[in-house]
Amino acid sequence: MVQIKISEKKRAVIATDMIGLFFEDINYAADGGLYAEMLENKSFEFLDAYGDKGDYYCIYDGGYGWKPYPVKAKADMLYVTGSPVAEENPHYLRFVAREDHCGFSNQAYEGIVLEKEKKYKVSFYARSVQYHASVTVAIKKDEITYASSQVVLKSGEAQQKKSWNKYELELTANADIEGALFVITLEKSGIVEFDFISMIPSNAVAGIFRNDIFEMLQALKPGFIRFPGGCIVEGNTLSNRYRYKDTLKPIEQRKNNWNRWAVHGNEEANQYHSRFSHYNQSLGIGYYEYFLLCELLGAKPLPVLHVGLACQYQSFELVEPETEEFMEYIQDALDLIEFANGDVTTQYGALRAKMGHKQPFGLELIGIGNEQWETDQSRFFERYIILEKAIHECNPSIQLIGSAGPDITSDKYHKAWEFYHKESLKKNNFVYAVDEHYYVNPQWFYENTDFYDNYDRNVKVFAGEYAAHPKKLELSQKNTLGGALSEAAFLTGIERNADVVVLASYAPLLAREGYAQWAPDMIWFDAAKVYATPSYYVQMLYSKYKGSVTLDTLEGQKALIKNNIYYNIVQNENTGDIYVKIVNANEETVTVELVHEAGEEIHISEIVYIGDKDKDSCNSLKEPFAISPSQQIPKQRVNQVTLKKNSFTVLTMKRS
């Protein structure tokens, strides 16, 4: 039996927003994921990405995802420029039908999924060149129609020369179907031009976010969301970087960009051309939508700024500090704060209001760079100093997040901390917290639950990207119970050191089955379903039972670690409830007794746990709840509990 003696002594205050989310458009997390758009390449702007470090290039492939329908239809699909809907996305489809009842289809990733009686909103721009009839929008599989609607196009004579018309209609599914095609068919022969063809479920949250994924995020009750990355911020080239101002335009004017993860896995063996080469960014979820997502989830926004450095792993490109070109990055930072917090009399505050949000978003946190580190070439520290000065001269209350680099073991990490400690002695608000990243094997997490015990408390920590990486071949099998338990054990140390670790987020957040470049990931999905991983449930339980202060224990942590037991104790000062989060990393059950230091009687009122399976177990689309929380309410007053093997348990205790 293991005995835990609970002390009245309060160790550290836990930040209310401590457990949050990190969102990056990796693994088709945005387009094809959280963004509810069901079609691929809706604007005929897709790029096919090639290359390796220092040598990236793209080939225009505007027809990606689109085909004639039927396949042998007598029709031409021409991807042209000339007079587009928006200059930022200059290509559009010129469809030449040389017979009646022919059209074109979109593959929609692995195919359209419909739910019976559910409604879907379809919109598109069209221009009749030589056409005087209707078009039909339908969802088809094996020549069977599962939803359809028709609209009559304005004829070329009835509209101004070269003008576009936007058409909107609604589809209602007559049956459940997966793997279907989105099809537009012309009733008669003729020529019609199309652009920005969209299909979004009517239940999309705010008309933007895929409902089932949103609900998964909502259940986590995140304190903050860090976005848009990650390496996405930096880009593999400077031209490929995330330009947030591009996303503040109407959807048609958001310039399509290739995704830096499109070249992940490129090597000589595959001619530097991966199977993800068509991974693009439509920017349907832009900065306005990110801020809106934060608001809907009750989370603080934490946008990450570009600092004039393309990804240091993947590129040599940079903009030198204190140059005219670098001023653009400084101004972007100031304009971002104005967009989030400015009133409607300011330029960017007025833009926010025009987009639909008159009230400020209340931005408090900004990340300066992603995984940047200091070299003679990067001069990252100099960049940080310049940006910090510019931001705080105009907005002294903004809290800045620095970068400790890509790991927590190398000289990059040690140099970063020397820099932040030294500069913070000169200026109190120089940095709020330093962003640390670690993707490590589960054993490292177990061996380093005391990692933050001896950290200097003067500069805070943001555990911005972390995950246990068990050795597994299949990507979707990497989210094992064993990995999640090691993360839960490590979080006991993070929570115990809440006076120095103020923010923490698992990474990455989302992954689409069959489209993942990286694993493990917290939430997996396909076109029809979504499921949580054991790591998701660890995060959910830490968030739900966070408490407001950590409590000491009279039993030493080290003694318990020898028994493969890891725990932390917190209290909700509003209710008086005490939560013990405890990991049993053993292959057999372990009995734990809870005792109060003053001898007061305490009893366990709720037991919630995940586990009691092999450490290699994981959830899947076929078995989404193989590992999920179980709850027990003791029928009598008890202060003992038998922990399941390989389990993470949260005990709620009430004092008599």
DSSP 449-508: TTTTTT--TTSEEEEEEEEE----SSGGG-S-HHHHHHHHHHHHHHHHTTTTEEEEEES-
Q: Is residue 194 part of a domain?
A: yes
Query: Of 418-427, 548-557, 608-617, 634-643, which range is least confident?
Result: 548-557
pLDDT attached to residue 656? 61
Q: What is the pLDDT of residues 27-80, one digit of tens each?
A: 999 999 999 999 999 999 999 999 999 999 999 999 999 999 999 999 999 999
Q: Is residue 101 part of a domain?
A: yes
Query: Of 110-114, 129-133, 168-172, 519-523, which range is least confident?
Result: 129-133
Q: Could you tell me what percent of the chain has a pLDDT over 70?
A: 97
Give 458: exposed, middle or buried? Use CB within 10 Å, 0-12, 13-18, 19+.
Answer: exposed
Q: Is 178 a catalytic residue?
A: no
Tokens of 596: 């109060």
CATH code assigned at 128 = 2.60.120.260
Counted residue by residue, the chain has a size of 656
What is the C-alpha to C-alpha distance for residues 266 and 558, in angstroms, rounded to an integer? 45
Q: Is residue 396 part of a domain?
A: no
Q: Which domain holds residue 131?
A: 47-201
Q: Are strands 602-611 and 55-60 parallel, antiparallel or unpaired?
A: unpaired
Q: Is residue 58 part of a domain?
A: yes
What is the C-alpha to C-alpha distance for residues 204 and 439, in angstroms, rounded to an integer? 33
Left (φ > 0), alpha (ψ -120 to 50) or beta: where does 82 sit?
A: left
Tokens of 393: 């001269």
Give every CB contact of residue 157 below 8 A, 6+ residues apart in sequence: none
Tokens of 345: 């009399």
Tell me the CA distances in angstroms from 210 to 38, 256, 514, one per residue in order.
10, 21, 18
How many Å separate Cα 127 from the centre of its chain? 37
Catalytic residue among 371, 374, 465, 495: 371
Q: What is the pLDDT of residues 532-559, one digit of tens each?
A: 999 999 999 999 999 999 998 776 566 5
Give 380: exposed, middle or buried? Use CB within 10 Å, 0-12, 13-18, 19+.
Answer: buried
Give 71: exposed, middle or buried? Use CB within 10 Å, 0-12, 13-18, 19+.
Answer: exposed
- Please, which pLDDT band fits residue 154 given cuts at 50, 70 and 90? confident
**Global confidence as pTM:** 0.97
Q: Is residue 206 part of a domain?
A: no
- 293 strand-pairing partners: none
Q: Say how many domains are in the chain.
A: 1
pLDDT attached to residue 155? 78
- 169 strand-pairing partners: 122
Q: What is the pLDDT of residues 246-276, one digit of tens each?
A: 999 999 999 999 999 999 999 999 999 999 9
Q: Is residue 395 part of a domain?
A: no
pLDDT at 562 over 70: no
Q: Is residue 435 part of a domain?
A: no
Q: Could you tell me what percent of the chain has a pLDDT over 90?
A: 91
Q: Is residue 408 part of a domain?
A: no
Over the chain, what is the mean pLDDT? Answer: 95
- Please, which pLDDT band fits residue 129 given cuts at 50, 70 and 90? very high
